[in-house]
Amino acid sequence: MNLSPLQKARYEYSPKLPAMLRGGISEITVNVGAPTQSVADQDKIKALFPNTYGKNEITFVKGSNTSAAKKQVVGVILSGGQAPGGHNVICGLYDAIKATDKNNVLLGFKGGPSGLIDDDFIEFDDAYINAYRNTGGFDIIGSGRTKLETEEQFKIVTEVAKKHGLTAIVIIGGDDSNTNAAVLAEYMAAHNTGVLVIGCPKTIDGDLKNEDIEASFGFDTATKTYSELIGNIERDANSAKKYWHFIKVMGRSASHVALECALETQPNICLIGEEVAAKKMSLAAITNYIADSVEKRGNNGENFGVAIIPEGIVEFVPEFSKLIAEINELLAGSKTEEFNALPDWDAKYNYIKKGLSAESFAVFDILPQFVQQQLFLERDPHGNVQVSLIESEKLFSEMVKNELAKRKAAGTYKGKFGAQHHFFGYEGRCAFPSNFDSDYCYSLGYNAFMLISYGYNGYLSKVSNISKPAEEWVAGGMPITKMMNMERRNGEDKPVIRKALVELDGKPFKYFEEHRKQWAVETAFTYPGAIQYYGPAEVCDITTRTLALEKG
């Protein structure tokens, strides 16, 4: 392997652990807290998880280790999209396993949950693990999006676990993956397999959080990476002074990434999907909001700016959501083939016009043609519109362009408008993890093994107080069922972990709200620069603006 100087240096970085996890495995004991209940639908969740529901929250503290000594053979999988720091979760897990007993074993199942089903794995050793310390990506064993949710899958996983003598399985993933972890944990308990299941909270989108999980890992690094790029673009815009840059960032279901990047870079515009939904903003209202900033700046001789747009913004627009629902119905079942067989766009356009309600067609008709066509690209596995394929950054720049043409004709807009488009997604998912994510992820992995050694099942590895220096972090665990509620999925009520949306009365949004009017008109850009690994702690170990504001 050809190593960059940075990669060599990152191998030498020693992640910081919370104080109670330092000093040796033999000095860690458990403080048992209160019993828990799910965030909603308590009776239904309890009925579905009779063996794992209502368990106590726990924290680890200094004291004599009272866990039962036994050989541990642990399996680990990476599930879902990549997030910086995943390798360090595995490294922390490995180090804790070997520190307890060098004969303990860690097996990495390849390609996500399917690796457990296919029995495709590698046994980790020091040399293999050392090549991935403090590095980005999930390439140590790969990831995948197979869901573990059927009785047949659970039986196969149980047989694989029995074959290798697994005592525990650690699932590193987001809300869906940890929901699957909870269901698998319940199955293992109900069938007395003796196999424990532990989850670790991962997603760069930041929507796996609550009063216990202050941040999912990867959010810190990804938002710093995007903010560096946005800052570079802001500097370019302020240099050339001739383009508006429309930047789409990750975040299908929540706007945490967009908000954090706005707090870091102070762009002229940042759309927050949750606010759009709360105010029932139409496409026209959003267009006018952006155009007002462009007009004021243009009339002041500043024909440039930056607008940040979350990936899932159109799903928050009520009229657009209704349109998507009608399109899903229009092309249900075999109707997709009928539609695709039409000879050209004109024929398809007429088919759409006949099939939609007048209200939804009016929305459809104001969209640029390229967006209209994107709504009818390949469907997802459930036959629905793939909203992530819609280039919302181009949609809004085109609609703003048309609105400005009207204003120019009316004599109110005197500037010039040119647009550039960007989508920052994959750029942030596998970056070298920041010091924060390196430390946080290593702690999550180390902590996961402590949960295993004390016999906890269906728990999420939890490290809290993370806005403080690492030595003040608190390690422990919480039952995954505490985060769950019932939601309608594909026509059925399913137990799922509740997604955390941007809170419009929360401190991060309120700070943004207080300053955005100024940012919309003035050039108040800030340039975060590259993630710094070496230097003063106040630069290297600084937390996200979101977490700093939330924790005061």
The tens digit of pLDDT for each residue in 38-62 reads 999 999 999 999 999 999 999 999 9
Mean pLDDT to the nearest integer, 113-131: 97
Residues 6+ apart with CB under 8 A from 492: none
Confidence bin at 252 (pLDDT 50/70/90) = confident
Structure tokens that stand for 465 in this block: 């107080």
Instruction: Enter the pTM of the model.
Output: 0.94
CATH 3.90.1170.50 at 30-167+174-218+434-497, yes or no:
no
pLDDT above 90: residue 389: no
82 three-class SS: coil
Q: Which pLDDT belongs to residue 381?
A: 65
Rounded Cα distance, 147 and 401, in Å? 43
What is the dihedral angle through the alpha carbons of 332, 334, 339, 342, rounded to the nearest 10 degrees?
Answer: -170
Look at residue 80 and give its three-state secondary structure: coil
Helix (H) or strand (E) holding 6: helix 5-11
Beta strand extents in 290-372 (DSSP E only): 305-310
Q: For residue 371, how far is the Cα from the chain centroid?
A: 25
205 annotated active-site: yes
Q: Give the confidence band of 533 by pLDDT, cuts at 50, 70, 90.
A: confident
The two structure tokens encoding residue 150:
């059927």
Q: How far is CA 401 from the centre of its chain?
A: 32
- The residue annotated as part of the active site, out of 175, 205, 437, 439, is 205
* pLDDT value, residue 385: 75
Sequence-distant (6+) residues with CB within 8 A of 10 are 133, 134, 135, 432, 533
Q: By mean pLDDT, which of 222-226, 352-356, 375-379, 471-475 is the weakest?
A: 375-379
Q: Give the Cα separation of 195 and 156 in Å (integer).
A: 13
Cα dist. 323→315, 355, 359, 448, 492 in Å?
10, 11, 9, 44, 22
**pLDDT, position 459:** 98
What whole-number distance in Å separates Cα of residue 475 and Cα of residue 462?
6
Q: Which H helix or E strand runs over 239? A: helix 219-240
Q: Are 115 and 169 in contact (CB under 8 A)?
A: no
Please tell me the predicted confidence (pLDDT) of residue 249.
97
* Location of structure tokens 């069938």: 191
Residue 382 pLDDT exceeds 70: no
Q: Which tokens hold the place of 533? A: 């690994």
Residue 226 CA to residue 56 CA, distance in Å, equals 38
